[in-house]
Structure 1
Amino acid sequence: MIDRDRRVNATDFGVWVSEYDAVGIDARHRPPQAAIEQARGCAFVVCSSLPRSLESARALGMENIGACEPLFREMGMPYANWRFPRLGLAVWSVLFRLMWAVGYSANAEPFKEARERARACAERLADLASLHGTVLLVGHGSLNWFIARYLKSMGWKGPRKSPRKHWDFAVYCHQAT
């Protein structure tokens, strides 16, 4: 569980991000039945290499993971090596994500490279869908948003807005021409 009131300096925020990436999911927060049913209909499962992605797939009832690839990991969160000020985790998250979008990338992959990785993810998913029919990606927030944009630019149809909450999902379809 994330303690959103915890106040840390920027360096400790970086430590927290690393720790967060190393842990799995909170077992008390189960996926909704609609997500489980949607997952069951997929022929191939793709996860990132982060523990929470693999555990989420298992919570959805997916035991046979077709691909577990670092390509699909969350977009890295930059952070600075500052001792002051001490701010809440949510404040640092928003601040560093905004700074990252305008070019600050200390301790993280640059924004432009992350966007290119999202494009590669969309292409990989399209390839997997052509091989397997239906593909479930158990992914991560920011990356999912960019993947959705690239899938749409490749002719895939999906919801106007990408889901933002834990366990939310979206379905994207491609019509052969």
Structure 2
Amino acid sequence: MQIVLMRHGKPKIDTRRRLNAAEFGVWVEQYNASGIDTEFPPTQEAVAQASQCAFTVCSNLPRSLESANALGVECIGAYSHVFREMDMPHVEWRFPTLSLQAWLVFFRLAWAIGYSANTESFKSAKARARSCAEQLANLASTHGTVLFVGHGSLNWFVARYLKRMGWLSADKPPKKYWEYSVFYMQET
């Protein structure tokens, strides 16, 4: 049995902006609605890895679904909001104006220590990631090989839970676009 966690392709959205916190909230909504930038196609290794999987799972976000299509996946077996990225909290402050990267770091850290305005709590998101790992493991037991075209933070937590469940991988969870890690369960 094998599970491949792959990060989606590069989203088609401007990431070099400076914004206030309210604008950051709007940017997050736009990011979640964005597809992938076709000028940055998947690597041949990613396409080859995807082609070896019998079943594909995506989130319901366009960047996940479009990435599966770019990988040549002909049939997405399952897609759901359960597999979407862990959301970012946001507020309606009109100041200060910071880089997008600064807001991403600020709100992700605030979220991890308990701040969850306008989004699910960190505790709920971790429980959802555990559920995703369990669902992927169940699908792997049925289909043999499963590809999950997922998202950065969610993939990181899913990888942690897969390892706790006894899945093995020499790879680190995927960080870069089109990067992947392979998990396997030794059959007894």
C-alpha distance in 1, partners of 2:28/2:93? 15
> Does residue 1:28 correspond to 2:39, yes or no?
yes
State the Cα deviation string for residues 47-93 of structure 1 (Å, max 9, x = none): 00000000000000002000011110000011111111011111101
Aligned length: 177
- The runs of at least 4 aligned residues of structure 1 exceeding 3 Å deviation read 1-5
State the Cα deviation string for residues 84-125 of structure 1 (Å, max 9, x = none): 101111110111001100001111110000000000000000
In the other structure, the counterpart of 1:5 is 16
TM-score normalised per structure 2: 0.91
Q: Superposition RMSD on alpha carbons, in Å?
A: 1.0
TM-score normalised per structure 1: 0.97
> Does residue 1:76 correspond to 2:87, yes or no?
yes
**Aligned residues: percent identity?**
62
> Structure with the greater relative contact order (CA < 8 A, sep ≥ 6): 1 or 2?
2
C-alpha distance in 1, partners of 2:62/2:45? 23
Alignment of 1:106-145 (within 5 A): 106-145=117-156
Residue 3 (structure 1) shift: 3.5
Q: SS where residue 84 of structure 1 aligns?
A: coil
Counterpart residue identity of residue 168, structure 2: K
Greater share of strand: 2
Counterpart residue identity of residue 130, structure 2: R
Gaps of 5+ in 1: none
In the other structure, the counterpart of 2:100 is 89
In the other structure, the counterpart of 1:41 is 52
